[in-house]
């Protein structure tokens, strides 16, 4: 009863008009940027890459941490600043219950805000018809079937060579008999597509570091690779690997609408982990907001990019491991990609779930413990 | 109800409460002392917000810090002026009522009762952010009494109230204390305290200076030479008249301002009775009247020296 009342009161406090205005800015921000990019690039606009880049950079990289810091630390800091904490601490309610009820409200607001930002971004970057969402190939969907057959007829790179070796004898014969100056016969292209689908659905040897040395793998593919996937995940990985090797020939399977649900699942997990850490900071430091901002935009931004295993002490590493995003292909080399190249290894999903659960639970228990035993008396009326 | 046993509280190098031992029972007790005397620190220890650095603070026989059993029987009105600015007075009182353990079934009725008790029913649906100081004080008192506590701790509860409000709230405290509750009220204004109770605890610089009946303290104050500064064009004539009074110890004319004179007396009450009579009889025009000793700080200085 008390918790429900505290939760409702905290929620009402968090949903004050001025706070809603800030939340709306954070919700609309990423999709506004996406809209500008879409209008500027017109036909060259790539919805999946733009969604991946903006979800990674703005939703996961900015909206989530800033909300976690502001609302997570605000659970106590605001009460301390307004000095209203004395009303709460002189009630016959266990302090940890007060803390967790208020935190639950803050967490819900963070989840709702990030979820709305994600959905809106997915809608703005969605391109109907682009991205099948399926792993199997279809002849009609191939972008340049002639070029693909040519690449498999006379392989010029290790990936093409491997794929040719996986074609059935009959398809290989048809391919060798085909004259590239003549139109493709439907039976040939169907045979190539069937054989490639067999690779996509069951081949566990497609990837090798040497074979894909010259191919730039997107972050989500690298992450999936680290998980040694099976079944459907293996099919997804193989399709992504082939897409990466033949970016102009094989259509994208990724869709914005397919990525958004996964992000919507991971964002609350990230909000819980970050929020719990910020709550703990608030129980320990009087200037928790500053410490939280340093943590979110200093430590969390730079530590994962340091060489070696430094990334393992960053919460964002584990969040990103569970929600990897395809970045846009770019010819230019920026500072981030140089640092990222130092850490090509991805973190396994199971480890990420475990670490995030342990961090969330540990931080919440510690925060509840500290809040129960520490004195919180606004300083200026201490005497 | 409350027992303090050699309780001290330090803030780093600064001492807030210094080695206080006393017992406070049912009835109304005033905690009296100048600003910085340690009243609020003592109240925070009683209400379980602070732990004593040394010694013990017990309420109902139990240690008070974050003790839900004690807090269930305790109501607290803090000195702070800020509140949940976006809430209405009614929401504020209800929320703290729920947290204090008022059952949901009785919450609405009880909220209305206490809002009516502090005369705030009419303004209870307005945001606290728009309240005057006096209105804030009233809803603070309402939240402290909503769960009908046995022990009521009120930190400077009359601050910001107008004279009518002071009277109403003073009557309320006296009524609550009269029904067997222990009511502790802090104040730095002696006059205010005298309206409420005879039982006082006098604090200064963290120490307990006196505990007992207000009249005994008054007697000490009356024995303390009291200075009164008067401003009038005919300062010499008035000085001559005042020197005729047997209880006036001295009259000093100011070197800097010929219109200013300072009177020293051991019987300030009598002096304040006689002064208007003399002024009216002899037609003096008084342009200024001030008493540098008419405050608690001066009394404490005197008591401490004594």
**Sign of the C-alpha dihedral, residues B67, B68, B74, B75?**
positive
Q: Specify the pLDDT at position A183.
A: 85
Q: What tokens were used for A125?
A: 């970057």
- Ordered by start, the domain boundaries in chain B are 2-214, 221-303
β-bridge mates for residue B77, sequence order:
B154
Q: Specify the pLDDT at position B305.
A: 59
Q: Specify the pLDDT at position B10.
A: 92
ipTM: 0.78
Q: Is A91 in Cβ contact with B96 (below 8 Å)?
A: yes
Among B51, B78, B104, the residue with its CB nearest the CB of A375 is B51
Residue ranges for chain A with pLDDT beneath 70: 129-133, 326-346, 379-383
Q: Specify the pLDDT at position A333.
A: 47
> For the segment B73-116, what is each residue's pLDDT rounded down to a tens digit?
999 999 988 888 889 999 999 999 999 999 989 999 999 999 99
Q: Which residues of B touch A369 (CB under 8 A)?
A: none
Are the beta carbons of B175 and B143 closer than 8 angstroms? no
Do strands B27-32 and B199-204 pair parallel, antiparallel, or not at all (unpaired)?
A: parallel
Q: Specify the pLDDT at position A332.
A: 47
* DSSP 8-state class, residue A128: T
Which residue from B minimizes the CA distance to A17?
B86
Find, among A328, A326, A320, the residue nearest to A348 by Cα.
A320
Are the beta carbons of A122 and A257 closer than 8 angstroms? yes
CATH assignment, B221-303: 3.30.70.100
Could you list the beta-strand ranges (E) of B222-278: 226-232, 248-253, 260-265
Q: Is B74 in Cβ contact with A90 (below 8 Å)?
A: yes
Q: Is B100 in Cβ contact with A92 (below 8 Å)?
A: yes
Q: Is A9 in Cβ contact with B76 (below 8 Å)?
A: no
Among A90, A92, A93, the residue with its CB nearest the CB of B49 is A90
Chain B residues contacting A via beta carbons under 8 Å: 11, 16, 36-38, 40-41, 44, 47-51, 66, 68-69, 71-72, 74, 76, 78-80, 82-87, 91, 95-96, 98-101, 104, 143
Helices A349-373 and A95-125: crossing angle, nearest 10°? 140
Q: Specify the pLDDT at position A331.
A: 44
How far B160 CA lies from chain A's nearest CA (Å)? 17
How far B76 CA lies from chain A's nearest CA (Å)? 7
Q: Which residues of A touch B40 (CB under 8 A)?
A: 381-383
Judge whether residue B244 has pLDDT over 80.
yes
Q: Is A93 in Cβ contact with B36 (below 8 Å)?
A: no
Long-range contacts of A376-380 (CB under 8 A, 24+ apart): A376/A76, A376/A80, A376/A85, A376/A89, A376/B49, A377/A86, A377/B44, A377/B49, A377/B50, A378/A80, A378/A83, A378/A85, A378/A86, A378/B80, A379/A286
Q: Specify the pLDDT at position A354.
A: 95
In our burial notation (b when 16+ CB lie closer than 10 A, e otherwise), range B58-69 reads bbbeeebbbbee
pTM above 0.80, yes or no: no
Q: Specify the pLDDT at position A212.
A: 92
Q: Which residues of B touch A376 (CB under 8 A)?
A: 49
Q: Which residues of B touch A5 (CB under 8 A)?
A: 95, 98-99
How far B143 CA lies from chain A's nearest CA (Å)? 9
Q: CA–CA distance from A137 to each of A142, A145, B126 (Å)?
A: 8, 11, 65
- The residues in A 152-211 lying below 8 A from B, measured between CB atoms, are none
Q: Specify the pLDDT at position A17.
A: 84
HSE value, Cβ hemisphere, 13 Å, CA-based, for A250: 23
Q: CA–CA distance from B58 to each of B4, B42, B172 (Å)?
A: 6, 12, 26
* DSSP 8-state class, residue A347: P
Which residue from A minimizes the CA distance to B10?
A383
Q: Specify the pLDDT at position A3.
A: 86
Q: Which residues of A touch B44 (CB under 8 A)?
A: 377
Tell me, yes or no, if A383 comes closer than 8 A to chain B by beta carbon: yes
Which residue from A minimizes the CA distance to B87?
A13
A–B CB contacts, 8 A cutoff, strictly below: 83
* Residues B193, B202: Cα–Cα separation, whole Å: 11
Q: Which residues of A touch B41 (CB under 8 A)?
A: 382-383
Q: Is B101 in Cβ contact with A92 (below 8 Å)?
A: yes
* Residues B174, B63: Cα–Cα separation, whole Å: 27
In our burial notation (b when 16+ CB lie closer than 10 A, e otherwise), range B92-130 reads bbbbbbbbbbbeeeebeebbeebbebbbbbebbeeebee
What DSSP assignment string belongs to A68-119? Answer: HHHHHHHHHHHHHHTTTHHHHHTSSS-HHHHHHHHHHHHHHHHHHHHHHHHH
Among A89, A92, A93, the residue with its CB nearest the CB of B49 is A89
Q: Is A87 in Cβ contact with B98 (below 8 Å)?
A: no
> For the segment B9-54, what is each residue's pLDDT rounded down to a tens digit?
998 888 899 999 999 999 999 998 888 889 999 999 999 999 999 9
Q: Specify the pLDDT at position A327.
A: 58
Q: Is B96 in Cβ contact with A87 (below 8 Å)?
A: yes
Tell me, yes or no, if A13 comes closer than 8 A to chain B by beta carbon: yes
Cβ count near A165 (within 10 Å): 9
Do strands B260-265 and B182-187 pair parallel, antiparallel, or not at all (unpaired)?
A: unpaired
Task: Report the percent of chain B where pLDDT is more than 90.
Answer: 61
* Mutation site for A-interface testing, chosen from B80, B83, B103 by largest number of A Cβ within 10 Å: B80
Level-2 CATH architecture, domain B2-214? 3-Layer(aba) Sandwich (3.40)
Find, among B131, B130, B39, the residue nearest to B79 by Cα.
B39
Q: Specify the pLDDT at position A293.
A: 93
> For the segment B48-72, what is each residue's pLDDT rounded down to a tens digit?
999 999 999 999 999 999 999 999 9
Which residue from A minimizes the CA distance to B95?
A5
Q: Specify the pLDDT at position B55.
A: 95
> For the segment B126-181, what is each residue's pLDDT rounded down to a tens digit?
999 999 999 999 999 999 999 999 999 999 999 888 888 988 999 999 999 999 99
* Residues B275, B245: Cα–Cα separation, whole Å: 10
Q: Is B99 in Cβ contact with A93 (below 8 Å)?
A: yes
Which phi and psi (to 5°) does residue B183 adopt? -115, 120
């Amino acid at each position: 009863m008390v918790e429900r009342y505290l939760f409702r009161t905290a929620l009402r406090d968090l949903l004050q008009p001025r706070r809603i205005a800030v939340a709306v800015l954070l919700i609309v921000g990423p999709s506004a940027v996406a809209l500008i990019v879409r209008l500027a690039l017109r036909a060259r606009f790539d919805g999946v890459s733009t969604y991946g880049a903006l979800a990674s950079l703005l939703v996961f990289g900015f909206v989530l941490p800033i909300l976690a810091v502001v609302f997570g630390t605000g659970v106590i800091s605001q009460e301390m600043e307004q000095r209203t904490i004395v009303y709460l601490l002189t009630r016959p309610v266990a302090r940890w219950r007060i803390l967790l009820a208020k935190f639950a409200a803050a967490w819900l607001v963070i989840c709702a805000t990030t979820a709305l930002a994600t959905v809106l971004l997915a809608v703005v970057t969605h391109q109907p018809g682009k991205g099948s969402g399926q792993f199997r190939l279809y002849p009609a969907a191939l972008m340049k079937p002639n070029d693909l057959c040519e690449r498999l007829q006379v392989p010029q790179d290790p990936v093409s060579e491997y794929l040719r070796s996986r074609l059935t004898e009959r398809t290989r014969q048809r391919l060798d008999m085909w004259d590239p100056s003549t139109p493709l016969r439907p039976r040939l292209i169907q045979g190539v597509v069937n054989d490639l689908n067999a690779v996509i659905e069951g081949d566990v040897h497609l990837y090798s570091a040497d074979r894909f040395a010259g191919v730039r793998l997107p972050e989500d593919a690298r992450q999936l690779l680290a998980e040694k996937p099976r079944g459907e995940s293996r099919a997804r990985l193989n399709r992504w690997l082939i897409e990466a090797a033949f970016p102009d020939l094989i259509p994208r399977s990724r869709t914005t609408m397919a990525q958004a649900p996964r992000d919507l699942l991971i964002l609350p997990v990230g909000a819980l982990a970050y929020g719990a850490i910020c709550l703990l900071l608030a129980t320990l430091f009087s200037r928790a907001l500053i410490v939280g901002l340093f943590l979110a935009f200093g430590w969390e931004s730079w530590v994962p990019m340091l060489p070696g295993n430094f990334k393992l002490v960053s919460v964002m590493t584990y969040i990103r491991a569970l929600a990897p995003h395809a970045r846009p292909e770019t010819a230019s080399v920026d500072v981030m990609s140089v640092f990222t190249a130092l850490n090509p290894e991805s973190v396994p999903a199971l480890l990420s779930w475990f670490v995030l659960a342990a961090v969330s639970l540990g931080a919440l228990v510690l925060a509840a413990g500290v809040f129960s035993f520490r004195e919180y008396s606004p300083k200026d009326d201490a005497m | 109800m409350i027992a303090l046993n050699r309780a001290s509280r330090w803030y780093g190098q600064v001492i807030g409460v210094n080695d206080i031992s006393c017992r406070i029972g049912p009835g109304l007790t005033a905690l009296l002392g100048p600003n910085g005397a340690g009243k609020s620190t003592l109240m925070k220890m009683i209400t379980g917000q602070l732990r004593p650095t040394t010694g013990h603070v017990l309420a109902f026989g139990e240690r008070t810090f974050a003790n839900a059993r004690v807090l269930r029987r305790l109501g607290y009105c803090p000195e702070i002026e800020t509140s949940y600015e976006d809430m209405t007075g009614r929401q504020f009182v209800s929320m703290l009522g729920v947290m204090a353990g008022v059952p949901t079934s009785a919450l609405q009725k009880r909220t209305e009762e206490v809002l009516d008790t502090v005369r705030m029913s009419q303004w209870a649906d307005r945001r606290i952010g728009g309240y005057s100081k006096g209105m804030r004080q009233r809803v603070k008192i309402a939240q402290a009494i909503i769960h009908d506590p046995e022990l009521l701790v009120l930190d400077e509860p009359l601050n910001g109230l107008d004279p009518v409000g002071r009277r109403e709230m003073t009557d309320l405290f006296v009524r609550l204390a009269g029904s067997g509750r222990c009511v502790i009220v802090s104040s730095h204004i002696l006059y205010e305290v005298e309206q409420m109770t005879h039982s006082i605890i006098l604090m200064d610089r963290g120490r307990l200076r006196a505990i007992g009946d207000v009249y005994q303290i008054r007697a000490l104050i009356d024995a303390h030479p009291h200075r009164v500064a008067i401003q009038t064009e005919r300062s010499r004539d008035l000085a001559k008249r005042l020197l005729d009074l047997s209880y006036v110890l001295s009259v000093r004319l100011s070197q800097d301002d010929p219109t200013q004179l300072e009177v020293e007396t051991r019987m300030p009450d009598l002096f304040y009775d006689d002064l208007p009579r003399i002024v009216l009889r002899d037609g003096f025009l008084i342009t200024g009247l001030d008493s540098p000793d008419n405050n608690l700080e001066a009394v404490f200085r005197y008591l401490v020296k004594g």
